[in-house]
């Protein structure tokens, strides 16, 4: 209960003084059903945010599948192989922080090695406090979570026709 209270307070404090959207640290994630807006936290995970923006600007994520989607938990993407074993080829050092894994949290996926995050990330459908301090939180969904909720569930070899990232863009690069 204490951890949940701390998580709620953290989110409240993060949004209480909400200011105009920082377009350089905002992503547009276009899905089949609509646009998801992700606020990034360069103050909490500077290397991860910089790498995500670099990959987004290179078009790396466009067309990639959501290869692991577990209802009530999370939707994972960012693997060019589409099976959870691929990446961009550049591992990132862990930047674990105090941000909780709540509904809409965007966090890096990794292997057993804490410094193995690369290009794969996941979006939480529900709170997942057991992940806190073990995965790098670098953003959160601020608009369009209903479109994330619509991502087709499934994983593994029998998962056919998964949903894709139609397009992913840094908001500063999009004509407003």
Residue numbers of the domain that contains 104: 26-173
CA 148 to chain centre: 11
Residue among 43, 64, 61, 44 at smallest CA distance from 53: 61
pLDDT at 131 over 60: yes
pLDDT at 13 over 60: no
**Dihedral sign (CA 168, 58, 56, 84):** positive
| Spatial contact of 64 and 164, defined as CB atoms under 8 Å apart | yes
Q: Note whether residue 41 is domain-resident.
A: yes
Residue among 27, 23, 25, 46 at smallest CA distance from 165: 27
Give how far Cα 94 sits from Cα of 19, 79, 116, Å.
Answer: 28, 19, 8
Residue 176: pLDDT band (50, 70, 90) is confident
Percent of all residues in the chain with a pLDDT value above 70, rounded to a whole number: 89
Residue among 143, 163, 154 at smallest CA distance from 64: 163
Q: Note whether residue 16 is domain-resident.
A: no
- Cite the beta strand spans of 1-57 per DSSP E: 26-31, 34-40
pLDDT at 58 over 70: yes
pLDDT at 56 over 50: yes
For the chain, give percent helix, strand, coil, nearest 5: 25, 25, 50
CA 146 to chain centre: 15
Q: Note whether residue 3 is domain-resident.
A: no
Average per-residue pLDDT for the chain: 91
Average pLDDT, integer, range 94-98: 97
CATH of the domain at 105: 2.40.100.10
Domain count, the chain: 1
* Largest Cα span, the chain: 45
Tokens (6 digits) for 22: 């920082």
Q: Note whether residue 9 is domain-resident.
A: no
Q: Note whether residue 72 is domain-resident.
A: yes
Q: Note whether residue 11 is domain-resident.
A: no
- Cα of first residue to Cα of last residue in the chain, in angstroms, is 42
Q: Note whether residue 37 is domain-resident.
A: yes
Q: Note whether residue 32 is domain-resident.
A: yes
> Measured between alpha carbons, how far is 3 from 118 in angstroms, rounded to an integer?
28
């Amino acid at each position: 209960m204490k951890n949940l209270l701390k998580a709620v307070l953290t989110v409240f404090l993060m949004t209480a003084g909400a200011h105009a959207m920082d377009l350089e640290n905002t992503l547009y994630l276009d899905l089949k059903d609509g646009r998801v807006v992700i606020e990034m936290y360069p103050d909490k995970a500077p290397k991860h945010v910089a790498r995500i923006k670099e990959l987004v600007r290179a078009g790396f994520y466009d067309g990639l599948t959501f290869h692991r989607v577990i209802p009530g938990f999370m939707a994972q993407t960012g693997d060019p192989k589409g099976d959870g074993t691929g990446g961009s080829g550049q591992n990132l050092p862990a930047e674990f922080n105090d941000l909780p894994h709540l509904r809409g949290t965007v966090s890096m996926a990794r292997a057993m090695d804490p410094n193995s995050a690369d290009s794969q990330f996941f979006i939480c459908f529900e709170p997942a406090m057991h992940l806190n301090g073990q995965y790098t939180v670098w953003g959160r969904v601020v608009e369009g979570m209903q479109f994330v909720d619509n991502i087709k569930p499934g994983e593994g070899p029998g998962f056919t026709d998964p949903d894709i990232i139609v397009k992913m863009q840094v908001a500063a690069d999009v004509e407003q």
